[in-house]
């Protein structure tokens, strides 16, 4: 299987996220992607490719051009304003109620305000290299797409930073550009076919859902921790099924605390049935491994065996598949869990022999 990777992700190396009023070590680290790369390289069955630059048109096909413009200039403007902090965090968010009844108001001048206009949480700091890394993650995804359109059965894009929390005009949740949504939109435009997205990250992909909620040509299926207890809290409920032309093209499968392999795979089957009933020849997978039993920030109970089985069941759909990396934070086993998911997809057997004991 081909795998697409860029070392540019190393330039996105913030140190902190905010949790319960304190700065803690950020879970979304460069080491995550390096661990995955090493596991796939050691396997020997993955041929690595470098991404091809696709420009900004596929990005502005889904995102507000003003958000792209903000991200491109954020670091420059932060420094130009005399800020000395090496990580840009929001501290003030313009909730609609702030200016309720007062009209839109002026666009603020300080970059301290700008970040709060675009970023919805306190887990997504920007550093000097963030924009370059996020742009390359999009190119990784689009290059994986090109390879599938060129006839590859399935291709893996090692995207970092991840993407599925980024909406049309908002980013957060460790994500800047929505890599999977950009690929899905580009696939629709290039093939004229409907496209299905399967999101198996632990967290609901609020950004992907938002982007395609009213669209009849893109199916969004997500398995995730129930938003009644899990981030991003405000989207991902089972009753959210789409709007207008998109009615019935969103399927949320919220999972209970401690969800087992069996319960998870039963939910996956429901999602795969919906995908099989939807048209199109290509599937985009948002692959998160934060469903793992040992994930430090999530609460399901999956084991490595489940990842192999999940990949195997996705393969049974018989569709060309673009697999894009999202979350997964138990770094010691992250590479092997991704590798086993892809082994399942590729019709190879599981390999549990390289899981380090930690």
Q: How far is CA 302 from the centre of its chain?
A: 19
- The angle at the Cα of 183, spanning 179 to 187, to the nearest 5 degrees, equals 175
Q: Are 328 and 294 in contact (CB under 8 A)?
A: no
Q: Which of 165, 203, 204, 312 binds Zn ion (CB under 5 A)?
A: 203
CB nearer to ligand Q9C: give 125 or 242: 125
Length of the chain equals 358
Cβ closer to Zn ion: 68 or 287? Answer: 287
Q: Closest approach of Cβ 227 to Zn ion, in Å? A: 13
Cβ burial, residue 110 (10 Å; 0-12/13-18/19+)? exposed
State phi, psi for 47 to the nearest 5 degrees.
-100, 115
Q: Which is nearer to ligand Q9C, 124 or 320 (CB)?
A: 124
Quote the CA–CA distance of 242 and 248 in Å, as a whole number: 6
Among 34, 43, 185, 290, the residue binding ligand Q9C under the rule CB under 6 A is 290
What SS3 state is found at 163?
Answer: coil
Q: Rule CB under 6 A: is residue 125 a binding residue for ligand Q9C?
A: no
Given the residues 63, 165, 203, 308, the one annotated as active site: 165
What gap in Å lies between CA 174 and CA 28, rounded to an integer?
7
Which tokens hold the place of 270? 């429901």
Query: Does the protein bind ligand Q9C through residue 295 (CB under 6 A)?
Result: no
Chosen residue from 171, 231, 264, 307 binding ligand Q9C by CB under 6 A = 231
Nearest approach, Cβ of residue 180 and ligand Q9C (Å): 11
Based on the shown chain and the rule CB under 6 A, indicate whether residue 9 belongs to the binding site for ligand Q9C: no
Within 13 Å of residue 139, how many CA atoms lie on the same side as its CB? 19
**252 vs 282, beta carbon nearer Zn ion:** 252
Q: Using CB distances below 5 to 8 A depending on partner kind, what does residue 136 bind out of ligand Q9C, Zn ion, none?
A: none
- Is 46 or 171 the residue whose CB approaches ligand Q9C more closely? 171
What is the four-CA torsion angle of 250, 230, 112, 93, rounded to 10 degrees? 70
DSSP E strand stretches across the chain: 2-4, 16-19, 22-25, 47-49, 154-157, 195-199, 218-225, 250-255, 282-287, 320-325
* Choice from 75, 202, 292, 330 touching Zn ion (CB under 5 A): 202
Comparison of 202 and 341: residue with beta carbon closer to Zn ion: 202
201 lines the binding site for Zn ion (CB under 5 A): yes
**Rounded-to-integer distance, Cα 59 and Cα 57, Å:** 5
Residue 165 designated active-site: yes
Residue 327 binds to Zn ion (criterion: CB under 5 A):
yes
Residues 155-174 that bind ligand Q9C (CB under 6 A): 162, 165, 173-174
Choose, by CB under 6 A, the member of 49, 201, 217, 295 that binds ligand Q9C: 201
Beta bridge partners of 251: 221
- Of the candidate spans 39-47, 84-92, 137-145, 286-294, the one that interacts with Zn ion by CB under 5 A turns out to be 286-294
- The smaller minimum CB distance to ligand Q9C, of residues 78 and 120, is found at 120
Distance of CA 152 to the CA centre of its chain: 22
199 binds ligand Q9C (CB under 6 A): no
Which residue stretch of 79-87, 130-138, 140-148, 200-208 sits at the interface with Zn ion (rule: CB under 5 A)?
Answer: 200-208
Q: How many residues bind Zn ion (CB under 5 A)?
A: 6
In the complex, the smallest distance separating the C-beta of residue 208 from ligand Q9C, rounded to whole angstroms, is 11
Question: Rounded CA gap, 109 and 126, in Å?
Answer: 19
Query: Could you tell me if 196 and 219 are in contact, meaning their C-beta atoms sit under 8 angstroms apart?
Result: yes
Q: Could you identify the residue written with the tokens 């859902």?
A: 209
Catalytically active residues, by annotation: 165
Q: Which residues bind ligand Q9C (CB under 6 A)?
A: 123, 162, 165, 173-175, 201, 203, 231, 288, 290, 326-327
């Amino acid at each position: 299987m081909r795998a697409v990777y860029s070392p540019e992700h190393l330039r996105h190396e913030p140190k902190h996220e905010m949790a319960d009023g304190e700065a803690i070590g950020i879970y979304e680290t460069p080491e995550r992607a390096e661990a995955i790369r090493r596991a796939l390289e050691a396997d020997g069955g993955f041929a690595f490719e470098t991404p091809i630059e696709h420009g900004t048109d596929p990005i502005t096909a889904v995102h507000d051009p003003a958000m792209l413009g903000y991200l491109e200039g954020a670091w420059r403007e932060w420094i130009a304003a005399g800020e000395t902090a090496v990580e840009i965090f929001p501290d003030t968010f313009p909730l609609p109620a702030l200016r309720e009844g007062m009209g839109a108001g002026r666009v603020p001048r300080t970059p301290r305000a700008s970040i709060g206009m675009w970023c919805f949480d306190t887990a997504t700091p920007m550093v000097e290299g963030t924009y370059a890394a996020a742009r390359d993650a999009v190119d990784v995804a689009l290059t994986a797409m090109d390879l599938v359109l060129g006839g590859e059965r399935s291709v893996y894009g090692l995207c970092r930073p991840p993407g599925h929390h980024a909406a049309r005009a908002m980013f957060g949740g460790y994500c800047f550009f929505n890599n999977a949504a950009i690929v899905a939109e580009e696939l629709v435009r290039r093939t004229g076919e409907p496209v299905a997205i399967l999101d198996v990250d632990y967290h609901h992909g609020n950004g992907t859902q938002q982007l395609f909620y009213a669209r009849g040509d893109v199916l969004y299926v997500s398995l995730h921790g129930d938003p009644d207890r899990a981030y991003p809290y405000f989207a991902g409920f089972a009753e959210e099924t789409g709007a207008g032309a998109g009615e019935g093209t969103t399927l949320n499968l919220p999972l209970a605390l401690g969800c087992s392999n069996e319960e998870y795979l039963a939910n996956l089957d429901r999602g795969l049935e919906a995908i099989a009933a939807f048209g199109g020849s290509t599937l985009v997978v948002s692959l998160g491994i934060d469903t793992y039993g040992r994930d430090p920030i999530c609460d399901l109970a999956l084991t490595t065996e489940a990842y192999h089985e999940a990949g195997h069941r996705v393969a049974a759909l018989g569709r060309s598949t673009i697999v894009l990396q999202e979350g997964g934070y138990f770094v010691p086993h992250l590479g092997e869990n991704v590798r086993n998911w892809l082994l399942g997809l590729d019709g190879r057997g599981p390999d549990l022999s390289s899981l380090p004991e930690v």
